[in-house]
A and B are shown apart, each in its own frame.
Chain A
Amino acid sequence: MNFFKLAFKNLLRRKIRTILTIQGIAIAIFVLFSLLSFQNGYKNSLTREMNDLGINILAVPKGCPYEAASLIVHGGVIPKYLDEADLKAISGIDGIELATPIFLSQIYEKDQERTSIIYGIIPQEYTKVKPGWKLNGQYFNNNDTAAIVIGNEVAYQEKLGVGDEVYFPSVGKVYKVFGVLERTGGQDDGFYFLPLAEAQRIFDKIGKITAVAIKIKDLTKIGDISKKLEEIPDIQVVTMAQVLGTILNLVGSARTLIFSVVLIALIIGTLGIVNTMFVTIYERRREIGILKAIGAGNFDVVKLIILETLIIAIIGGIEGSVLSFGGGHLVESFVRGVIPYAPKRMLFTFQFANFGIAIAYSVIIGVLAAIFPSIKAASLSPLETIRKDE
């Protein structure tokens, strides 16, 4: 017999109440653990995705540059365009290794309720800003009018391979698949890549450009080059570091909100334990008095109640953490739907340090929740137990 065994057996006496209280803590810790995992995973994923992009600067039409840059990375459509003259002006700036035009639009097939994102590129240039790309098949030439390269996810979803044909009824065109990109883990997996001129032609935007992807020779000169780019009328400049920062800020705001919710959940969970312990102590006041009569001191009672509370909190903490390991992908799919920009890579990175934090939180919750009930229990008089009619 020891205090731990006594505390554990006491909890078994009210199984349902104990289990429900544990669930309250488990849910709070589940959310906390998931959020911590998200915090690590999201930043890593986003940074890797931005690095994979291979682009140092995006030149976009004036408007909201960060939104535009995010849309370009994500595959959205911007209703403003640059033109060939802008491209020429950009290319003429010193320090720029490569400036390659991008035309981005969408084809919506009403009958199939399908939206296809079309990326018009010059592959010989664009592949220089995408050094990580690996292609099965071959790239098209910019003069091709019936060739297409598709992302890996598109190939998988549409069951397409090299040599197959892709038909877009709304533009009345059939394209032969020249190449299929190997999985990049990024947004490129979901795009259709056409020769720039062909993409501009089918959308009737000859000479128009959605953005210019710029690679510079020396990254330390990025500030000077950005300034020179901004001198060109109609152009706004976004460095990918800015895009990264903007997205992280947006997600940071969402995270603050979620942290607030977690905090509330933790407070509710803690109050739940406090309530349970108070009710339990009220029901057990006679028993506690008996324990004091047979020799338990105030410290013994405090120790017993704190142990009982800690057992509840720690089991809840472990359960919440394990649930996060198992159910993290469910939370991930939910988070993908609500955050401003979600990289394709794993958003949740589970680290044992987070497990430690979750358990530490559980212990803190347990101790906090036990303080008042244990003091209340210790203050009970042994006489409570034996007061009866005489």
Chain B
Amino acid sequence: MNNRYIIEAESLTKHYKMGSEDISAVAGVSVQIEQGKFYAFVGPSGSGKSTLLNLLGALDTPSAGKLNIGGEQVFDSEVNGKPSQRNLTAIRRKYFGFVFQNFYLLPTLTVKENISLPLLFTRKKIDPVHIDKILSKLGLEGRGRHLPSQLSGGEMQRVAIGRALAVNPQIIIADEPTGNLDSKNAALVFEVFKKLSQEGITVLTATHDVQLAQNFSDKIVRLKDGKIVEGEAGIC
């Protein structure tokens, strides 16, 4: 394990059964994620971006391969079986914040309540100053008492990023975070990710928007048919 890398994956594989057909969503991917960098995973639909992010984010278990997160061995198909859901939950709580394409804010909770929600599950005391700082960082001052229905799409996604930041994660996983946003708001979201990576948070995002990825991310990972495309078009 190299301290430079917060995530290390080796020959990571994920198979699905679809009827009698065996689908390889991720086919032996090896990747090393540097701490504090902004990674954009790009590729066409079905290329395995989201599945790979789910595996790297301990949301899903691989079919084979090795996965280390923060120096902890999460999965090694040669040594042990699948990790338990409890272990995966513990890993997620310890390292990750998640941002989704559809925001998934709870509609009856205010912006502040949505942001502080993960703290409820980590049994950490909710510090109002911490929540205010997050709001300020995301340009959401004055929106703390608003409900999600009173916000624009861009604002909702920033609240979702705030929710991911509430537990001070080392890594943020954002799967198609700009999929429901216009180009202006999409750029704003990527700008936030860029800033967060500069503060030392590792950001992994899947996107269709190559231009956006090129403009803001530190590294682009191209995927096709469940594999990282090597060479000039691969990690760059």
- Which A residues are closer than 8 A to B by beta carbons? 1-3, 6, 9-10, 12-13, 286-287, 290-298, 300, 381-383, 385-386, 388-390
> Contact residue range for chain B?
35 or more
A10, A286, A385, A390 — most chain B CB neighbours (10 Å): A390
Question: Across the interface, do A382 and B167 meet the contact criterion of CB distance under 8 Å?
Answer: no
From A13, A297, A385, give the contact of B86 (CB < 8 A).
Answer: A297
Question: Across the interface, do B100 and A290 meet the contact criterion of CB distance under 8 Å?
Answer: yes
Give 16 A-B pairs besides A295-B118, A390-B50 with Cβ atoms closer than 8 angstroms: A1-B117, A1-B120, A9-B106, A9-B109, A13-B108, A286-B104, A287-B104, A287-B106, A294-B92, A294-B117, A295-B93, A297-B86, A298-B89, A383-B59, A385-B100, A385-B104
A290, A295, A382 — most chain B CB neighbours (10 Å): A295
Question: Across the interface, do A388 and B92 meet the contact criterion of CB distance under 8 Å?
Answer: no
Q: A389 to B89, alpha carbons, bound, how many Å?
A: 25
B102 to chain A, nearest CB (A): 8
Q: A390 to B66, alpha carbons, bound, how many Å?
A: 24
Show 14 residue pairs from A and B whose CB-CB distance is below 8 angstroms, ordered by the A residue: A1-B120, A6-B106, A6-B109, A291-B117, A293-B59, A294-B163, A297-B121, A298-B85, A300-B121, A383-B54, A383-B59, A389-B45, A390-B45, A390-B50
**Given the interface contacts A1-B120, A382-B59, A388-B50, does A294 sit within 8 Å of B85 by beta carbon?**
no
Q: Does B60 touch A at the CB level, under 8 Å? A: yes
Q: Does B51 touch A at the CB level, under 8 Å? A: yes
Question: Across the interface, do B46 and A390 meet the contact criterion of CB distance under 8 Å?
Answer: yes
B48, B98, B120 — most chain A CB neighbours (10 Å): B120
A28 to chain B, nearest CB (A): 28
Q: In the complex, which residue of chain A has the Cβ closest to the Cβ of B104? A: A290
Q: In the complex, which residue of chain A has the Cβ closest to the Cβ of B120? A: A1
**Given the interface contacts A1-B113, A388-B50, does A296 sit within 8 Å of B121 by beta carbon?**
yes
Question: Across the interface, do A390 and B121 meet the contact criterion of CB distance under 8 Å?
Answer: no
**Given the interface contacts A9-B109, A295-B167, A382-B59, does A390 sit within 8 Å of B51 by beta carbon?**
yes
Q: Does B101 touch A at the CB level, under 8 Å? A: yes
Q: Does B164 touch A at the CB level, under 8 Å? A: yes
From B47, B101, B107, give the contact of A13 (CB < 8 A).
Answer: B107
Question: Across the interface, do A390 and B49 meet the contact criterion of CB distance under 8 Å?
Answer: yes
Question: Across the interface, do B108 and A10 meet the contact criterion of CB distance under 8 Å?
Answer: yes
Q: Does B175 touch A at the CB level, under 8 Å? A: yes
In the bound complex, residues from chain A placing their C-beta under 8 Å from that of B181 are none
A60 to chain B, nearest CB (A): 70
**Given the interface contacts A9-B108, A385-B100, does A294 sit within 8 Å of B45 by beta carbon?**
no
In the bound complex, residues from chain B placing their C-beta under 8 Å from that of A3 are 120
Question: Across the interface, do A294 and B118 meet the contact criterion of CB distance under 8 Å?
Answer: yes
- Interface positions, chain B 81-116, Cβ under 8 Å from A, are 85-86, 89, 92-93, 97-98, 100-101, 104, 106-109, 113, 116
Q: A290 to B176, alpha carbons, bound, how many Å?
A: 15
In the bound complex, residues from chain A placing their C-beta under 8 Å from that of B126 are 1
B170 to chain A, nearest CB (A): 14
Q: A386 to B53, alpha carbons, bound, how many Å?
A: 11
In the bound complex, residues from chain B placing their C-beta under 8 Å from that of A2 are 120
Q: A220 to B100, alpha carbons, bound, how many Å?
A: 85
Q: A300 to B123, alpha carbons, bound, how many Å?
A: 11
Q: Does B136 touch A at the CB level, under 8 Å? A: no
In the bound complex, residues from chain B placing their C-beta under 8 Å from that of A291 are 117, 121
Q: Does B122 touch A at the CB level, under 8 Å? A: yes
Q: In the complex, which residue of chain A has the Cβ closest to the Cβ of B103? A: A290
B190-226 to A contact mask, C-beta < 8 Å, 1/0 = 0000000000000000000000000000000000000
B60, B86, B108, B121 — most chain A CB neighbours (10 Å): B121
Q: A382 to B93, alpha carbons, bound, how many Å?
A: 13
Q: In the complex, which residue of chain A has the Cβ closest to the Cβ of B49? A: A390
From A6, A286, A292, give the contact of B120 (CB < 8 A).
Answer: A6
In the bound complex, residues from chain A placing their C-beta under 8 Å from that of B100 are 290, 385-386
**Given the interface contacts A13-B108, A293-B59, A390-B46, does A298 sit within 8 Å of B86 by beta carbon?**
yes
Q: A6 to B121, alpha carbons, bound, how many Å?
A: 12
In the bound complex, residues from chain A placing their C-beta under 8 Å from that of B164 are 294
Q: A292 to B175, alpha carbons, bound, how many Å?
A: 16
Question: Across the interface, do A386 and B113 meet the contact criterion of CB distance under 8 Å?
Answer: no
B215 to chain A, nearest CB (A): 23
Q: A386 to B59, alpha carbons, bound, how many Å?
A: 10
Q: A296 to B51, alpha carbons, bound, how many Å?
A: 21
Q: In the complex, which residue of chain A has the Cβ closest to the Cβ of B45? A: A390
In the bound complex, residues from chain A placing their C-beta under 8 Å from that of B60 are 383
Q: A382 to B117, alpha carbons, bound, how many Å?
A: 16
**Given the interface contacts A9-B106, A290-B104, does A386 sit within 8 Å of B175 by beta carbon?**
yes
In the bound complex, residues from chain A placing their C-beta under 8 Å from that of B108 are 9-10, 12-13
Q: In the complex, which residue of chain B has the Cβ closest to the Cβ of A6? A: B120
B29-67 to A contact mask, C-beta < 8 Å, 1/0 = 000000000000000011111110010000110000000
Q: A1 to B110, alpha carbons, bound, how many Å?
A: 10
